[in-house]
């Protein structure tokens, strides 16, 4: 086992803030989200991402605090009781994932699947056969650690609703830096995950292993900073404009169909939400400025579609891309058949890898897993949409999920879990909070009442 340089930096930073200023813990964890395909620890040619390394360390540090919390279960505050439903859904998801990931590969052994370790393109005409593997345990472990982070967030350290935004800032800024610093980009430091085939510099991939993953973060950033632009103060609006400008620059160099389609769907969802809010408003009416703005946006989109396609997806179009599209479609179609052949139970995490997060969930976790994931997401988005202070995080999560459904089939994507935490468990400082302090924090940090921001 070897710990990488960034792994050491992460461990030292987590331990340092834990004992000095615990409320900063969330920002260290958030920073690791911008490096989901960078190994913190390498064991037997298998890499362990920085985010999950941070979660494991947090679990170790939190053990004494968890024992103290168990002794106070009967005295939970109203704010803590509000956590019960999402916590139960998260735990149920891990339990079901464990059951089906252990039993599924044995019950449905020999079924034709797209094995995660072999790549989609190579299996179109020669699919693998399902069998129990280390990948089942690994993928189950990632989901369990994602849920563990949800359980820790807000209990051991406060969660700022802007947590997801800080991670997105790092991702889009470093992607922009790579555009001009490619010759000196620290490939050995960041692209160190064993068995990963990192993309070349022909298309921008930022701190990720391929352009489509950067496309996911760009979609999330557009949703998050777009909402911040609409509902923040003057200073935050300037920052949001700068962020959206970086998103546009990265988007052009990224050339990702994932980002293009993800943004189109996200804008459509935003339009539906805006329309519903307008219809439900007591001051219903159509503002002339809104009409003019809508006409300008729609007109520009319709007339500039060829230009947009040329500068983005068109710049990366090739026969290989066409073959890849066919392979991805085939993997999704096969995943639907796996769902049907398994009687809706799924075959377990790590058993199949299509090209869509939705298809991955239904083929690996079945209808029960899909229901639990959807319930957790709906609960998070509902809480975000009814509170303007955390709504940008909700749009960020929506962007992550939309892009993941399009072409990034990884339930282990850290941005999913950190975004859910930002929507589900934001806490606020309260003058009415009891006179106690977070263990290990400075006396400047008041107790947190556990309520939604």
360-378 confidence digits (pLDDT tens): 999 999 999 999 999 999 9
Q: What is the DSSP string of 127-144?
A: -EE----HHHHHHHHHHH
Q: Which is more confident, 374 or 281?
A: 374
Q: State whether the Cα torsion 11-16-19-21 is positive or negative.
A: negative
Above pLDDT 90, what percent of the chain?
Answer: 47
Mean pLDDT score, 186-203: 82
Which pLDDT score, from 0 to 100, does residue 274 have?
Answer: 82
Question: Does the pLDDT at position 431 exceed 70?
Answer: no
Question: Which element (helix H / strand E) includes 42?
Answer: strand 39-43
Mean pLDDT of 336-357: 94
Q: What is the pLDDT of residue 413?
A: 92
pLDDT > 80? residue 353: yes
- Predicted local confidence at residue 429, as pLDDT: 42
Among 138, 166, 151, smallest CA distance to 70 is for 151
Outline where 386-443 has alpha helix (H): 391-407, 414-424
The larger pLDDT score, comparing residue 63 to residue 94, is at 94
Q: Which residues pair with 157 in a beta bridge?
A: 153
Share of the chain above pLDDT 70, in %: 81
Range from 40-44, 249-253, 294-298, 377-381 that averages highest in pLDDT = 377-381
List the domain boundaries for the chain: 83-424
Look at residue 292 in the predicted model and tell me its pLDDT: 60
Give the C-alpha separation, 214 to 419, whole Å.
Answer: 16
> How large is the average pLDDT for residues 388-397?
92
Q: Which of 38-42, 315-319, 364-368, 434-438 has the lowest mean pLDDT?
A: 434-438
For the whole model, what pTM was predicted?
0.85
In this predicted structure, what is the pLDDT of residue 393?
93
**Mean pLDDT of the chain, nearest integer:** 82
Residue ranges of alpha helices (H) inside 21-133 are 25-32, 50-61, 63-70, 78-81, 84-107
Report which of residues 3 and 119 the model is more confident about: 3
Lowest-pLDDT range of 143-147, 170-174, 447-451: 447-451
DSSP string for residues in 236-302: HHHHHHHHHHHHHHHHHHH--HHHHHHHHHHHHHHHHHHHHHHHH-TT----HHHHHHHHHHHHHHH
* pLDDT over 60 (residue 285): no
């Amino acid at each position: 086992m070897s710990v990488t340089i960034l792994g050491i930096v992460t461990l030292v930073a987590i331990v340092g803030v834990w004992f000095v200023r615990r409320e900063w813990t969330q920002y260290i964890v958030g920073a690791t989200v911008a490096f989901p395909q960078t190994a913190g620890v390498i064991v037997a040619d298998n890499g362990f991402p920085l985010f999950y390394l941070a979660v494991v360390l947090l679990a170790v540090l939190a053990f004494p605090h968890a024992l103290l919390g168990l002794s106070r279960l009967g005295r939970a505050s109203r704010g803590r009781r509000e956590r019960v439903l999402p916590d139960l859904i998260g735990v149920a998801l891990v339990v079901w994932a464990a059951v089906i990931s252990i039993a599924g590969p044995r019950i449905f052994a020999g079924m034709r699947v797209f094995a995660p370790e072999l790549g989609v393109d190579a299996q179109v005409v020669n699919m693998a056969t399902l069998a129990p593997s280390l990948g089942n345990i690994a993928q189950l472990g990632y989901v369990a650690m994602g849920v563990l982070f949800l359980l820790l967030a807000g209990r051991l350290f406060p969660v700022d609703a802007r947590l997801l935004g800080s991670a997105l800032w790092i991702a889009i800024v470093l992607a922009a830096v790579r555009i001009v610093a490619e010759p000196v980009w620290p490939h050995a430091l960041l692209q160190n995950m064993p068995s990963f085939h990192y993309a070349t510099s022909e298309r921008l991939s930022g701190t990720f292993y391929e352009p489509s993953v950067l496309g996911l973060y760009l979609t999330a950033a557009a949703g998050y900073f777009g909402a911040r632009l609409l509902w923040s103060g003057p200073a935050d609006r300037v920052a949001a404009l700068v962020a959206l400008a970086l998103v546009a620059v990265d988007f052009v160099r990224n050339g990702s169909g994932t980002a293009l389609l993800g943004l189109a769907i996200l804008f459509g969802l935003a339009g539906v939400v805006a329309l519903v809010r307008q219809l439900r408003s007591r001051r219903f009416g159509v503002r002339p400025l809104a009409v003019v703005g809508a006409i300008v946006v729609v007109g520009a989109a319709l007339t500039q579609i060829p230009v947009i396609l040329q500068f983005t997806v068109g710049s990366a179009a090739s026969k290989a891309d066409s073959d890849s599209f066919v392979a991805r479609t085939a993997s999704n179609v096969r995943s639907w058949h796996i769902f049907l052949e398994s009687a809706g139970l799924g075959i377990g995490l790590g058993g199949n890898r299509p090209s869509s997060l939705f298809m991955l969930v239904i083929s690996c976790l079945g209808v029960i897993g899909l229901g639990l994931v959807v319930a957790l997401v709906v609960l998070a988005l509902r809480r975000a949409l009814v509170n303007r202070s955390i709504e940008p995080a909700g749009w960020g999560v929506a962007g992550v999920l939309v892009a993941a459904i399009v072409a990034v089939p990884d339930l282990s994507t850290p941005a999913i879990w950190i975004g859910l935490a930002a929507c589900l468990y934001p806490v606020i400082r309260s003058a009415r909070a009891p006179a106690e302090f977070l263990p290990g924090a400075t006396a400047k940090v008041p107790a947190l009442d556990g309520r939604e921001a």
